[in-house]
Amino acid sequence: MIRRALLLAACVLCGAAAAHPPARQASYADRPEVRAFIGRMVERYGFGAEALRKVFASARFAPGVLRAMRPPPRERPSWEAYRARFVGARRIDEGLEFWRANRSTLARAARVYGVPAEVIVAIIGVESHYGRSTGRWRVLDALSTLAFDEAPRAAYFRGELESYLLFAREAGLDVLAVRGSPAGAIGLPQFMPRTYREYAVDFDGDGRADLLDDAADAIGSVANFLQAHGWRRHEPADLDASVSGAAYRAYADGGVQPRYTLAQLARAGVAFRDPGLPEDTRAALLELGTPDEPSEYRLGLHNFYVLTRYNRSAFYAAAVSDLAKALRAAGGSRADGARARAARPWTRRAAAGLRAAARAPRPGSAAPARA
């Protein structure tokens, strides 16, 4: 009995330890892996060792960041629930307001980079709700936690932490003051620090590329990113599709890279409205699934693939595409203040979508399907 009691007590203590892990060291600056990181920053980029030590002495472990970055529970993703988070009357109305407020800048970005205004607005709308939600975490805390505390992609986040320190130095920003997402994404377009340094542009000519507060720079930077990743002027991103037979299944392989010609897909039982593209145009056959509902099918063209360079999720790119189309349909470049009359363009799948939305989980519980 005594032995069993001791074993039981040990199990209880182990369970308590698992539920309440020991507190992290108060200062990152004292940890050997952080000291090694500081040494590399000094050697490679000429940072002051003592200055960086003080920075990391002020960094704080953020358990909420690890919780936010934890993979979602294993459940079938719902396209309808995911879409409902980003394509609705309020998001469209506020997108039109953003369009009106930045009409000339968006028009200039479209001319310079070849990216339609509605696509730029849609990305900023999905990423940060047009700047209303840019993140509450100190970027230094988020990236330090992900770089040095149990993150599966620690090497990636150490690279982003390196880029963040360089970015803050180049921009003259207080490294302790910048706030962003749990992943360390920054500003209206939610650029990671490395992306910020590579693709942010000073689109209003004030001498700095400010994505934290400057809508013009955010607009130009989103367009610059898409152009740099191959956006094709005057081409659509995706096409609605329907399927029949069984041959199409070999083409719905879960990929987003456009590998199959329109002629191949048509022969396999994929039907779509021809927008006048050549038959050798390549596309990916996308299946956007919702549990207990028929799947929605689309053809992802080259520009759809470019959207997935921003976020490698077919759900993400499809939501951006749908929001862009809804913005264009609801007022578009006129940006005349007319209220969006519908959350989505009325298509053959709208009725099924409305039924699914009534049964879908709360939008916050949906997770993107990673490509």
| Residues with catalytic roles | 127
HEC per residue, 17-51: HHHCCCCCCCCHHHCHHHHHHHHHHHHHHCCCHHH
- Alpha carbon separation from 109 to 44, 119, 182 (Å, rounded): 36, 11, 29
Strand residue runs (E) in 251-307: 260-261, 270-272, 282-288, 296-300
Dist. CA 292–CA 245, nearest whole Å: 20
List the alpha helices (DSSP H) in 213-369.
215-228, 262-267, 302-310, 314-330, 350-359
- Residue 132, Cβ density class (10 Å: 0-12 exposed, 13-18 middle, ≥19 buried): exposed
- 137-138 vs 238-243, strand pairing mode: unpaired
Query: Which of the 8 DSSP states describes residue 244?
Result: -
Rounded to an integer, what distance in angstroms lies between the CA atom of residue 181 and that of residue 355?
33
Q: In sequence order, what are the beta bridge partners of 271?
A: 242
Q: Are the C-beta atoms of residues 283 and 262 closer than 8 Å to each other?
A: yes
Q: What are the two backbone dihedrals, phi and then psi, of residue 270, each rounded to the nearest 5 degrees?
A: -100, 120
Paired with 260 in beta bridges are 283
Q: Residue 115 corresponds to which tokens in the numbers above?
A: 């990216």
Half-sphere exposure of 112 (CA within 13 A, CB side): 18
CA 21 to chain centre: 31
Name the one residue in this structure whose structure tokens are 């048509």.
266
Calculate the CA dihedral of residues 45, 46, 52, 55 and round it to 10 degrees.
-70
